[in-house]
Structure 1
Amino acid sequence: MAFFKSTTNIDLGDTLIENIFIDVYMPMANGTHVKVYLLAYKYACDKEQANIIDNTTIAKNLNIPLSDVLGAWDFWESKKIVKKIPNEQDENNYSVEFVNLKQLYIDNNYKTIHSPSDETSLSPYTCSTKDIIDANLIPQVRDMFNQINQIIMRQLVPNEKMQILEWMQNFNIDPPLIVKAYSYCKHKKNNKNVKYVGAVIRNWYDNGIASLEQLQEYLLKQGERYGLYDRVFKAMGFSYREPSESEKKIMDRWVEELKFSLEMILKACENSSKTPNPNINYINGILQDWHKKGIQDVKSLEELMDTSKSAPLSKLSKPTSPIKQNKTKFHLATSRGDKYSAEELEKLVLNKQRNK
């Protein structure tokens, strides 16, 4: 007698992923890195497949180059959530150990409290309640807190303020970049959680981003539409205002339907400086006009400007015809004085006086 359970022909099992990975580490990575991690983690949870699957198999199953798989492990190893175990026979077919994220969290957040006093100088900066009080006396920091309050539509709690001040110290970033991180997270995922924002800031830090200019360049290279919105609003002088949904749709149309480049859009923004109250509709009117005229690049725009400048000169160079005066009733008749000379007129006047 025996007890056993039948199995399905298709794998309909479950793979448990720790929330720490989803909340903290997944926002840092691109899609390929996440896919490699999840598929390999699934294999690691299956004892039967764990020892027969390699990086080549993962590349085939995901339909990506082997180099992308190896690049993903380099990325996750830099985040210290996997460990690569070398293979002496094949350097590209190393084993991968998945670090327990719960234990990693405990090690990072609790063991440092009990570290020896001579190592405290090496530990990350931690904020105190007094630091919050002192920080609120600095106008730039106080403005940062107020702007974040507007973005998340509530007041920051003390623990969140402490976390933000720690970001400033540990990542050496300025308040405007932190404000932009909150704005970015709200726009991308509608997520205003301090842990999620912190993960995004850590990812930016790992990519060498320490200023708004570097962030805009990075987002545009990544093809992020948020980078376009941010760049346009900065050109219009709306650095701290978020675009509305209708404004986003208009800007999306510039790229998707009108096929304008960022350079051309910014050229239109330059023209908006001529009006005292620039807005998206004004710029939209400029771009619509350029589109109708077939102007899609800077060269064709410059040619149009050169033509418009030379047009008045060409008109002035044309020969001018004599000015014709319209005749009125005062010009129809000729003067009777035209029939007589000066002497004859004088005799006529004298004779007239004698007759009287």
Structure 2
Amino acid sequence: MSTFMFKSKAQDYTPVSNIFIDKYMVRARGDFVKVYLLGLKYCMSGELGVSSSILASTLHLLETDVLNAWNYWNDEGVINMIPIDNMGNFSIQFVDLNEKIEGNDNNINLLKELNKGPTKDMLQDIEKLLGRPLSSKEMSMYVGWQKEYNFPPEVILLIIQYSVSKGKTDFRYIEKIAIAWFDSNIKTIEEAQSFIKRREDKWIKIKKILTYLGAKDGEVMKPQEDMLDKWINTYKFPLEVIFKACDICFERINKAEFKYIDGILTSWYKDGLMTLEDIAKKDTKTTPARKPNNFKPPQNSTFNNFEQRSYNFDELEKKLLGWENSDD
């Protein structure tokens, strides 16, 4: 359970800014508006704070709905939501919307932009794709892409579709995709589709390599991802060649070592070995032929020059027995 502390002066009424009604309320979920208004009422009544359970019970909502509402209004810049401790308690400060500059995000006059048919249609299509209403910050961001990135509405909608297909609807993730497309100089639907295909093809191959190595996507760090990208897009090795390098790595060190595999593939790339046939031919040339086993002992001059002697065993026996000087 969270507690929300208010900073205010006691009032007998709850003033609601027309800016909030005109600009923010019309775009927000009804539950979010309820939380804002009830919170504002507590604040203006001089309450020091209120728990999420009381707000949820009063409005017949879940406590998670209450927290989501405050997060939404914080993102909108309507309130300042500041953590007090690590227990989930916050200080809520209501912003004076009369002092808030209209359209201060990228100098965009959002109300003016919403009067334009194509822009309004684009934002409505985005809401349908995301399955939720857009905050004014999000709307300003998408409208800003048309000017800052020179994206036509069709490209912006394709960014949203691509993000949704990945199960990502957070505007921060969507913004990262847009920046990546801008950095890749994407301006048309055709360029965007080609970019997506190249990226998807790369990740399909990466997943196959990781599966072959017995690794998972989440276990791959940025340096390893860069190596995988190099093998696929820079070296342009087919998967069977990469698998061959993995096999050699396992045979030699009995484990999957990215740097070791990278060393093998880099060596093959420098030698122009791009197929399994190239590698097999190279191995045949470099593997020395076995010599026949016709070993002969070395010629030892000392042994061969040893003078072979013949002994008279009868005479030798007499000497041993002391018969040499006997008269017999």
- What TM bracket, shorter-length normalisation? 0.3 to 0.5
Q: Scaled by the length of structure 1, what TM-score is found?
A: 0.35
Q: Scaled by the length of structure 2, what TM-score is found?
A: 0.37
